[in-house]
Chain A
Amino acid sequence: MKFCVCIKQVPDVQASVQTGRMVLNAYDASAVEEALVINEGTDDPVDLVLIGSASATETIRKALAMGASEATHLVAEGEGLDSHAVAALLAAHFEGHAYDVILTGKQSQDTDAGLAGSMLAERLGLPYATNAVGLRAEGDTLVVTRQGDAGQEILALKTPCLVTCSNDMNNPRIPALKGIMAAKRKQIDTRSITPPGPRTRVTTTLEPPGREPGVKLEGEAADMVAELVRRLDAEANVL
């Protein structure tokens, strides 16, 4: 199947201090991994598209080093791209292409919006599934297992279609040296674009409300347990 994966470069949310280090969105890495596994041993492409600043080339190379085929880099400088703007730009990009499956991450790790995938599907008029934890090709049908509210839903999607991927789907490969070298020679089609105005705007970023400092109990298990139960009952009033 001809895949294209939409990838985003995000700040490293795991870092305790933000150093400006940027990484490939973990959900998108899982999407790339899944497409590579499905297409293993075939000549079908796993292409990439990324919207972001010029410095995002590094992230594109990383996904190419995993084994993706070619990439398009739509260069938009500055902040303020919301999911609405991203989906509009991606929809324009996909107009000239005929992919069987478009994959996105289920959400951006930095903003947790979780919108661009289904927005894009709607703009392209494609059937879609979100929060996929498993994918399988069955002829020209894509069988998707999605994590729903009360269990897993198994869906059959006619291609062309779009799926948003959870990182619970797989563990993305770490590129090997050979892949890294090969990625250097792969084509990145770079174009400048002007994004449409966003519909939402971040005005300020605040610290979340802090928690009251707690009590740490150490020592004999029986003593800790007695003390905990006493406090849960008398102090916290939660029993």
Chain B
Amino acid sequence: MSSILCLLSVQDGRIKRSSLEAMSHANTLARAEGWSLEAVLLGSKAADLAETAGRHGADRVLVIKDPVFDSHLNAPLLAGLEAVVKAASPRLVVAASTESVKDVLGALAVRCDAAVLPDVASFSVQGERIVCERPVMAAKKLARTESSHPLVFVSVRSGSYEVKEAQGAGTVVDVPFQFDAATLGLTLREIVKSAGDTVDLSEARVVVAAGRGVRDASGKALVDELASITGAAIGASRAVVETGLFPATAQIGQTGKVVSPDLYFAVGISGAVQHTAGMANSRVIVAINKDPDAPIFDLATYGLVGDCFTILPLLNAELKKVMASR
């Protein structure tokens, strides 16, 4: 029997929502094709999360309980994933398009002799072909792309599918693995976490994003306050990250992260294509910009033309009232 193998990314002891989104769709496809659905979990706590994988449709959960996977490093991850792909010999491998996955996807495809459809917005099985749609030209176009290669890897943009529970057997299978650190051509010296990230940007239901119009620390304080009132994650444009006011992990767009929350506030952001490539799929977009011709207004559900330094204090006060009455 053919199968779909889902690579599940773990952060802060939880399976990332984007991984469960991709697996939920993979489950739908697997059931329609009569294929099995398998999940992969790597790291010292891998087995603890197998139950969650089972609850989202996994028939088997392939685990490697090795602490080498607890912080991201591409060489061991590649070796681990190679072992798992070879053990499962699936038709299709599905993963969320996280930075860790992007880091190894191409190399893994060479190692496993696979074709890759990266960063897709949707995918399906059509007979011998795996077909997907992926944004191109800074998300101004969608390219329908396909592969008939016997093994295909697909990475999925966050927010492309809903998470759906589906009971699978969730049988845990330990995959034998040994990694010789002496063969490493690289070492991880340090991980510099950016301070103040309380909500994961790519999973947030509400995002407050700041642009160059936010300008300085007093603007940042207003943005922070709006985020705390609405329980939002904080995003930023490249221009404002460059000023050092916001961390690079907050950057949204073609170079940065892709988000698709229910509610997106764009504060002092012009709406360059490289920025909108990362947020155009948000359900409701609120834009605050003093330039009535700013391109962000073309995407905005609600556009407010005005100075964010005047608008945000009023908005924060008003939202505080509404939230307090809940």
Contacts and interface: CB of A to CB of B under 8 A. Distances in A.
A226 B315 CA distance: 8
Interface in B128-143: 133-143
A156 B189 contact: yes
A111 B303 contact: no
Nearest to A212: B301
Contacts of B139: 208
B251 interface: yes
Contact of A153 (B72, B78, B104): B72
Contacts of A201: 145-147
Contacts of B36: none
Interface stretch (B40-48, B108-116, B160-168, B216-224): B108-116
A122 B110 contact: yes
B107 A150 contact: no
B185 A206 contact: no
Contacts of A199: 115-116, 147, 149
Given A158-B186, A201-B146, A228 B301 contact: no
Q: Quick one: which of A153, A161, A206, A211 has the most chain B CB within 10 A?
A: A153
B263 A238 contact: yes
A174 to B, nearest CB: 17
B117 to A, nearest CB: 6
B14 interface: no
A135 to B, nearest CB: 13
Nearest to B132: A200
Contacts of B118: 112-115
B284 A131 contact: no
Nearest to B194: A151
Contacts of A225: 304, 311, 314-315, 318
A116 B303 CA distance: 40
B303 A214 contact: yes
Interface in A205-239: 205-208, 211-212, 214-218, 221-222, 224-226, 228-229, 231-233, 236, 238-239
Nearest to B306: A221
B13 to A, nearest CB: 13
Interface in B148-193: 149, 184-193
B119 A208 contact: no
B33 interface: no
Contacts of A206: 133, 141-144
B66 interface: no
Given A205-B144, A239-B322, A147 B99 contact: yes
B232 to A, nearest CB: 11
A199 B26 CA distance: 21
Interface residues of B, number: 90
A133 B248 contact: yes
B306 A208 contact: no
A11 B185 CA distance: 36
Contacts of A128: 74, 107, 186
Contact of B106 (A114, A151, A153, A203): A114
Interface stretch (B53-61, B86-94, B292-300): B292-300
A110 B137 contact: yes
A155 interface: yes
B311 A109 contact: no
A217 B311 CA distance: 12
B109 A115 contact: yes
Nearest to A167: B255
Contacts of B310: 221
B185 A229 contact: no
Given A157-B185, A217-B302, 18 more contacts: A87-B106, A110-B137, A112-B134, A115-B109, A117-B106, A118-B107, A128-B74, A130-B102, A149-B72, A151-B192, A154-B191, A203-B146, A208-B141, A214-B302, A232-B263, A236-B283, A236-B284, A239-B323
Interface of B: 9, 11, 72, 74-75, 78, 98-100, 102-111, 115-119, 133-147, 149, 184-194, 197, 206, 230, 238, 241, 248-249, 251, 254-255, 262-263, 272-274, 280, 283-286, 292, 297, 299-307, 310-311, 314-315, 318-319, 322-323
17 contacts: A13-B274, A84-B116, A109-B254, A112-B254, A114-B106, A118-B105, A122-B108, A131-B99, A151-B249, A152-B194, A154-B192, A158-B186, A206-B142, A208-B142, A214-B303, A228-B302, A238-B262
Interface of A: 11, 13-14, 83-84, 87, 106, 109-119, 121-123, 126-131, 133, 143, 146-158, 161, 166-168, 199-208, 211-212, 214-218, 221-222, 224-226, 228-229, 231-233, 236, 238-239
